[in-house]
Amino acid sequence: MGNIRPLYIKNNAKRLFKLIKDKTTTNFDENKKLLKDLNLIKSKSVRNKIAAYLMKLKKQSNIIS
């Protein structure tokens, strides 16, 4: 069973992924640092959840292509 994430996390992560697809990686810590540098998300817990979902999206895009 996988993680269940709220819809606002998924939607925001998908929007960000379209914008910064080249900068995201499959490493959680690097994605977290990237989001912190962009300074778009104030909440630490939301930023971490979005970084984790960006990691998942990047892995999925690597498998497909």
pLDDT digits over 27-61, tens only?
A: 999 999 999 999 989 999 999 999 999 999 999 99
Per-residue pLDDT band for 25 (boundaries 50, 70, 90) equals very high
Per-residue pLDDT band for 1 (boundaries 50, 70, 90) equals low
| CA-based nearest residue to 8, from 53, 65, 38, 42 | 53
CA dihedral 58, 13, 19, 17 (to 10 degrees): 10
Quickly count: other Cβ atoms within 10 Å of residue 51's Cβ.
23
| CA-based nearest residue to 13, from 1, 2, 34 | 34
Average pLDDT over residues 13-32: 96
Quickly count: other Cβ atoms within 10 Å of residue 14's Cβ.
13
